[in-house]
Chain A
Amino acid sequence: MIDIAPILARFPSLAHDPAANALIVPAHLALEVARYLRDNPAYLLDYASNVTGVDYLATEKKSKVKQADGVYKEIVTKTEAGMEVVYHLYSMHLGHGPLVLKQRTSREKPVVTSLTPVYRGAEFQEREVFDLFGIHFDGHPDLRRILMWDEFKDYPMRKDYIAPDDFQYEPTPHGDVLAEAQKYYGLPEEKK
C-alpha cells in the first residue's frame, strides 16, 4: 500500500476517498499531480494501468434504524449524481501500487483533464471513456470515438442509456421475447 498522507500534505486541495483509498483530484491540478506522482522518486508511478469511467445517478435510499428508546426512525440517505474517471497507477520501477486517482465531474457537462500527456497508456482508454460515457478530456491529442462508429449519437455505458428499439423477428419466441414480439406481431399467447 502506498502512503498517501504526504501527497495530501503536498497538495492540500486534494480530497481523500477512504472507501476506495483513492485521491480525488480537481481538474485544474490533475496534470501537476500526475507529473508529481510519476517523477517523484518516492513514488515513481510510471505506469497507468487502468483508466475507466463510472456513472452515478442520484439515489435515495430509505432505511429504518432502531433508536435507543426502541422506536424505529426512518432515515433517508441520498447520493448525488456525478461521473468519475478512475486511474489505477502502478510503479514498474519500484513494483508497488496501485494508487487510485479519481477525477469527478458533473453528469450534465462532463469535462475532466486528460492525463495522456503524462501517461501515453491512457490514450486509448480515455478515448473509450469518451466514447462510452461521453466524458470530455481536455488536452487529449486525438479524442474520437474508438469502439462505436463515428455517427453514433448516445453514450451506451451511462446508467440512464436506453437501447434503441431494434427488435428483430424471432421464429420461436418465448418468455420475455414473446411479450416483446406480441407488441410487434400480435402473436398468440404462449401455450401452457
Chain B
Amino acid sequence: MSVPDSTSSPAIAPREYEVYSGDDLGTNVLEVSMGPQHPSTHGVFRMNVTLDGETVVKLKPVFGYLHRNHEKLGEGMTYLGSMPYTDRLDYFCSMTNNWAYALTAEKLAGIAVPERAEYIRVIMAELTRLQNHASLMGFLTNDLGASGTPLLYAMREREHILDLFEWVSGARMMCNYMRFGGVRNDLPEGWLEQCKKVVDAFPAFLDEFDALLTGNEIIQARCQNVGILPRDLAINASITGPCLRASGVNYDIRKVDKYGIYDRFNFQVPLGEVGDCYDRFMLRLLEMRESVKILKQALSQIPASGPTLDAKSRNFRPKPGEAYGRIESPKGELGFYLISDGGPKPYRYRIRPPSFINLTVLEDMCLGQKIADTVIILGSIDIVLGEVDR
C-alpha cells in the first residue's frame, strides 16, 4: 500500500459560475403525477398531468388500482351469486346497481315483475339518486375548499336515507335488495310512513343547500366557464347522466326507455346550457327536486299490498341468448350485457360502467385550464372508483 504523495494530487480548480444574462430563459413543461393517494381524486385514481406553468397541456388518467376483474368473477358463479357483488361497483348506489342487473336478467329470461315490486324499485332508485347527488354536491364543495361543512349537511340528509335502506335490507350501503322478478322482501311495517316523512322534509334541505351554495361567489367564480364540455363531443364520447344533460342533450333513459314503470310519473328532465362545472353542479340540485316529485307520486300510488317477488331466483337458468339492459343510474347509463349458454352461470357477464366512460373526456375538459381546476372538473364528473376499475 503506497502512501499518496501529497504533491501529486491534482489541484482543485476554482469552480466557474455562469452569470445568468436573462435573454435565453427557456421554459419546460412539467409532468406531475396527481394521485393515486391525492385526497381530491375520490379514491385511488391518478392523473398524469403535463403543465406549462399552471396550465394543463396534457392529461392522461391512470386507473385500475381497484381492479379485481369483476366480470371474470361473475362468469364463475351463478346468476344470483353476482347480485351482492354488484353492490360493490358503485358503492354509493347499490340499489340502482341491483336494479340494472335484475332488469337485464329479467330481460334475458322474460320474467315479469309484480306491480308493488316495481313501485318499491322506483322508490329505492330515487332515494339513491337523492343521496348520491346530495353527497356529490358536498364533495364538490369540499374540493373547492369548503372544508367539509356543506359535505356534512349532505351527509346528515344521506343518513336518513341510509337508515331507510338499513331498515328494509339490513345494510346501509351494500343493500343486495333486488332479485330477478322483484325485490327480496316486502317493506317492513311503518317503512312507507317514515319514507314519506324523509321525502317531505327533503325539499327544505334542498332550499337550504340552494340558498347556501348556488349563489355563493366562490362557487360561481371557480365553476362557471370551467371545464366546458361541448354538446357534440359529449354525444360522440358516449357521456351519459348529469354530465350529458348539463351539456344540453335531452337524454334520460327513464324517459327514453321507460323501463320499470317510469312512464307513470310526471317529471321533467333538467338541462344545462353551457356544459361547465356550474351547470353540472346545478343540474344535480334540479334533478333532486324532480326525484322528490317522483317519490311523492310513487309513495301515493304504491299498492297497499301484493306480491313483491314472483319468480324464484335460485336455480336460475335462462335459455341460450343474450340481452343488454340499462338504467339511468345517478351517474349515467349503467348497463349489463349477459350471454347465456343455458347453464347456471352466465357465459359472458359485462358491465357498462358510467363513471369509466365519462372519464373519456376528462382530458378534453381540462386542457387549457389551471391545475387547480382539474380537481373541480374531476369532482363534477362524479366518479366512483369501485365502478371505474371493477
Q: Is the CB of A147 within 8 A of B360?
A: no
Check A120/B238 contact, CB under 8 A, given A49-B335, A146-B64, A149-B64: yes
Binary contact readout A77-90 vs B (1 if CB under 8 angstroms, 0 otherwise): 00000000010100
Q: Report the separation of the CA atoms of residues A190 and B77 in the bound assembly, to the nearest whole angstrom.
A: 25
Partner of A157 from the list B64, B69, B233 (CB cut-off 8 Å) is B69
Chain B residues whose C-beta falls within 8 Å of the C-beta of A119 in the assembled complex: 236, 238
Chain B residues whose C-beta falls within 8 Å of the C-beta of A132 in the assembled complex: 69, 71
Judge if A105 is at the interface, Cβ distance under 8 Å.
no
Binary contact readout B305-330 vs A (1 if CB under 8 angstroms, 0 otherwise): 00000000000000011101010000
Chain A residues whose C-beta falls within 8 Å of the C-beta of B350 in the assembled complex: 50, 52
Judge if A177 is at the interface, Cβ distance under 8 Å.
no
Binary contact readout B356-385 vs A (1 if CB under 8 angstroms, 0 otherwise): 110111000000000000000000000000
Q: Report the separation of the CA atoms of residues A98 and B337 in the bound assembly, to the nearest whole angstrom.
A: 12
Q: Report the separation of the CA atoms of residues A95 and B67 in the bound assembly, to the nearest whole angstrom.
A: 33
Q: Report the separation of the CA atoms of residues A132 and B389 in the bound assembly, to the nearest whole angstrom.
A: 12
Task: Looking at the assembled complex, report how far the CB atom of A27 sits from the nearest CB atom of chain B, in whole angstroms.
Answer: 21
Q: Report the separation of the CA atoms of residues A44 and B265 in the bound assembly, to the nearest whole angstrom.
A: 28
Judge if B239 is at the interface, Cβ distance under 8 Å.
yes
Judge if B333 is at the interface, Cβ distance under 8 Å.
yes
Q: Report the separation of the CA atoms of residues A122 and B333 in the bound assembly, to the nearest whole angstrom.
A: 15
Partner of B322 from the list A19, A48, A92, A125 (CB cut-off 8 Å) is A19
Q: Is the CB of A49 within 8 A of B321?
A: no
Judge if B72 is at the interface, Cβ distance under 8 Å.
yes
Partner of B239 from the list A52, A121, A147, A157 (CB cut-off 8 Å) is A121
Q: Which of B22-78 contact A (CB under 8 A)?
A: 63-64, 67, 69, 71-72
> Interface on chain B toward A: helix, strand, loop, or mixed SS?
mixed
Q: Is the CB of B326 within 8 A of A121?
A: no
Q: Is the CB of B236 within 8 A of A46?
A: yes
Check A156/B69 contact, CB under 8 A, given A50-B350, A52-B350: yes
Partner of A92 from the list B235, B321, B359, B389 (CB cut-off 8 Å) is B235
B240 (CB) vs chain A CBs: closest residue: A49
Q: Report the separation of the CA atoms of residues A161 and B72 in the bound assembly, to the nearest whole angstrom.
A: 10
Task: Looking at the assembled complex, report how far the CB atom of B254 sits from the nearest CB atom of chain A, in whole angstroms.
Answer: 12
Binary contact readout A2-22 vs B (1 if CB under 8 angstroms, 0 otherwise): 000000000000000001100
Binary contact readout A143-165 vs B (1 if CB under 8 angstroms, 0 otherwise): 00011110000001100010000
Q: Report the tally of A-B residue pairs with Cβ distances under 8 A.
A: 83
Looking at B249, B350, B359, which has the most chain A CB atoms within 10 Å of its CB?
A: B350
Q: Is the CB of A148 within 8 A of B64?
A: yes
Looking at B69, B236, B251, B352, which has the most chain A CB atoms within 10 Å of its CB?
A: B236
A20 (CB) vs chain B CBs: closest residue: B322
Chain B residues whose C-beta falls within 8 Å of the C-beta of A36 in the assembled complex: none
Q: Is the CB of A120 within 8 A of B237?
A: yes
Judge if A123 is at the interface, Cβ distance under 8 Å.
yes
Task: Looking at the assembled complex, report how far the CB atom of B2 sits from the nearest CB atom of chain A, in whole angstroms.
Answer: 50
Judge if B160 is at the interface, Cβ distance under 8 Å.
no
Q: Which of A69-104 contact B (CB under 8 A)?
A: 86, 88, 92, 95, 98, 100
Task: Looking at the assembled complex, report how far the CB atom of B150 sits from the nearest CB atom of chain A, in whole angstroms.
Answer: 31
Judge if B339 is at the interface, Cβ distance under 8 Å.
yes
Chain A residues whose C-beta falls within 8 Å of the C-beta of B256 in the assembled complex: 95
B347 (CB) vs chain A CBs: closest residue: A54
Judge if B348 is at the interface, Cβ distance under 8 Å.
yes
Q: Is the CB of A121 within 8 A of B357?
A: yes
Binary contact readout A161-180 vs B (1 if CB under 8 angstroms, 0 otherwise): 10000000000000000000
Inter-chain pairs besides A49-B240, A49-B333, A120-B233, 9 sampled, C-beta below 8 Å: A19-B320, A47-B238, A47-B251, A49-B326, A123-B360, A124-B360, A125-B356, A146-B63, A147-B389
Which 4 A-B pairs rank lowest in CB-CB distance, beginning with the nearest? A121-B238, A147-B64, A120-B237, A50-B352
* 18 CB < 8 A contacts A-B: A20-B321, A46-B236, A50-B352, A54-B339, A54-B347, A54-B348, A86-B337, A88-B324, A92-B249, A92-B251, A95-B256, A120-B361, A121-B239, A147-B63, A147-B389, A148-B67, A149-B64, A157-B69
